[in-house]
C-alpha cells in the first residue's frame, strides 16, 4: 500500500507541473512581445499629425474652418498569442509521458503483488517439502529398525547332561547379526528385589569370541551354560549352599551380548541385549527361567 500511495503522489505532481510549464512558456512569449512593443512605439509616436495655422489657411479653410483631430495610441493592446507548434508538441509529449508513467506504476504495483503471492506460495511449498522430508526420514528409520537384527535370549535344557541348561542367543530380526562380545555375572540374594539396580560385573572385561559368531535370521547359539554343580562354586560356605537348597536364598545369573548388523558399515552403532535368569535348585531336579527387572532384560 505504501508503494501504491507513493506512485499516485508522483503522478499527481507530474500532472500539476504540466500546466505550470505551459503557463511559463506563454508568459515568456507575452513578455517578449511587450518588450518588442515599446521598440516599435516610437515609430508610431514619432509621426504625430499636427497642423500649423499656415497650413490650415493654405487649405482654403480660412480661419473658420474646423481642424481634423488626430488620435495617437501610445500602448496598443497586445494581440492574443497562439501556441507555437513546438509548444503544442512539448505539451502533448508531457501528457503522454505522464500517462505512460502512470501505466508503468500500475504495472509495477501489479507485478509486485504477483511476486509477493509467488513468494508466499514458495514458502508454503518449502514448508511442505521439509515436512515430507522429515516424514521420509522417520519412515527410513522405522524401516531400518524393522530390518535390523534383533538378538533375544532364551533358555534351553542340555540334551547331554541332566539338570544342565544353556542360555541361548537367537536372531529374531530380518538381517544377519555378528556377535562381538559377551559378559556374564552371578549373584546370590534373597530375591530379585535385592539385586543391584544396575547389573554389576566383577570383571568389566568382555569375552570376545575366538571365532566370529554370525547368526542368520532364526539361528541360535549358546552363550552361557549352567548346571547343578556350578552352584557350589557360587557358595562361599556350606551354610549358604543349604540356604539355597531350602530356597531361603536364590541364585541369579545375568549377562550382556554385544552385536552389530552384519550388512551395516563397520562404524555403525552397536546393539546390546541384557539378560537375567533365576536358577531353581531342587533336591532332585533343577530349572533355569528368565527373571530380573527391566534393567536386566533390556535391548538396544
Summarised one tens digit per residue, pLDDT across range 190-246 is 888 888 888 888 765 555 666 778 899 999 999 989 888 888 888 878 888 888 888
What confidence score (pLDDT) does residue 152 get? Answer: 92
HEC profile of the chain: CHHHHHHHHHHHHHHHHHHHHHHHHHHHHHHHHHHHHHHHHHHHHCCCCCCCHHHHHHCCCCCCCCCCCCCCCCCCCCCCCCCCHHHHHHHHHHHHHHHHHHHHHHHHHHHHHHHHHHHHHHHHHHHHHHHHHHHHHHHHHHHHHHHCCCEEEEEEECCCCCCEEEEEEEECCCCCEEEEEEEEEEEEECCHHHCCCCCCCCCCCCECCCCCEEECCCCEEEEEEEECCHHHHHCCCHHHHHHHHCCCCEEEEEEEEEEEECCCCCCCCCEEEEEEEEEEECCCCEEEEECCCHHHCCEC
How large a percentage of the chain has pLDDT more than 90? 9
State yes or no: pLDDT of 136 exceeds 60. yes
Specify which of 19-23, 25-29, 45-49, 293-297 reaches the highest per-range mean pLDDT: 293-297
Would you say residue 261 has pLDDT above 60? Answer: yes
Does the pLDDT at position 299 exceed 80?
yes
The residue ranking higher by pLDDT, 121 or 11, is 121
Most confident by average pLDDT, 40-49, 60-69, 188-197? 188-197
pLDDT attached to residue 16:
58
For residue 233, what pLDDT is reported?
81
- Range from 30-39, 138-147, 204-213 carrying the lowest mean pLDDT: 30-39
Residue, of 34 and 292, whose pLDDT is higher? 292
- pLDDT of 296 > 50? The answer is yes
Bigger pLDDT: 217 vs 28: 217
Q: Please report which confidence band the pLDDT of residue 275 belongs to, taking 50, 70 and 90 as the band edges.
A: very high
What was the pLDDT predicted at 6? 55
User: 30-34, 98-102, 112-116, 197-201: lowest mean pLDDT where?
Assistant: 30-34
Mean of the per-residue pLDDT values of the chain: 76
pLDDT at 249 over 90: no
Residue 12 pLDDT exceeds 70: no
What pLDDT, on a 0 to 100 scale, did the predictor assign at position 274?
A: 93
Residue 3 confidence (pLDDT) above 70: no
| pLDDT score recorded for residue 170 | 93
Amino acid at each position: 500500500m505504501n508503494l501504491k500511495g507513493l506512485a499516485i503522489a508522483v503522478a499527481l505532481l507530474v500532472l500539476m507541473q504540466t500546466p505550470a510549464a505551459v503557463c511559463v512558456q506563454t508568459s515568456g512569449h507575452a513578455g517578449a512581445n511587450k518588450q518588442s512593443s515599446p521598440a516599435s512605439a516610437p515609430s508610431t509616436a514619432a509621426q504625430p499629425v499636427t497642423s500649423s495655422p499656415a497650413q490650415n489657411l493654405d487649405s482654403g479653410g480660412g480661419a473658420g474652418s474646423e481642424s481634423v483631430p488626430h488620435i495617437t495610441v501610445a500602448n496598443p493592446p497586445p494581440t492574443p498569442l497562439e501556441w507555437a507548434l513546438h509548444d503544442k508538441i512539448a505539451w502533448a509529449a508531457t501528457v503522454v509521458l505522464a500517462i505512460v508513467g502512470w501505466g508503468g506504476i500500475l504495472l509495477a504495483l501489479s507485478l509486485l503483488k504477483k511476486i509477493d503471492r509467488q513468494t508466499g506460495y514458495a514458502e508454503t511449498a518449502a514448508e511442505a517439502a521439509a515436512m515430507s522430508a522429515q516424514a521420509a526420514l522417520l519412515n527410513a528409520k522405522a524401516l531400518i529398525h524393522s530390518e535390523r537384527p534383533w538378538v533375544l535370549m532364551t533358555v534351553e535344557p542340555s540334551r547331554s547332561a541332566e539338570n544342565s541348561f544353556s542360555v541361548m542367543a537367537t536372531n529374531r530380526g530380518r538381517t544377519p547379526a555378528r556377535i562381538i562380545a559377551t559378559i556374564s555375572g552371578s549373584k546370590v540374594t534373597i530375591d530379585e528385589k535385592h539385586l543391584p539396580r544396575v547389573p554389576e560385573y566383577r570383571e568389566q572385561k568382555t569375552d570376545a569370541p575366538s571365532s566370529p559368531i554370525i547368526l542368520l535370521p532364526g539361528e541360535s547359539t549358546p552363550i552361557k551354560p549352567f548346571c547343578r554343580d556350578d552352584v557350589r562354586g557360587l557358595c562361599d560356605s556350606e551354610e549358604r549352599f543349604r540356604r539355597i537348597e531350602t530356597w531361603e536364598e536364590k541364585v541369579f545369573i545375568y549377562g550382556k551380548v554385544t552385536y552389530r548388523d552384519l550388512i551395516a558399515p563397520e562404524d555403525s552403532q552397536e546393539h546390546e541385549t541384557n539378560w537375567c535368569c533365576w536358577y531353581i535348585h531342587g533336591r532332585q531336579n533343577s530349572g533355569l527361567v528368565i527373571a530380573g527387572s527391566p534393567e536386566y532384560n533390556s535391548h538396544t
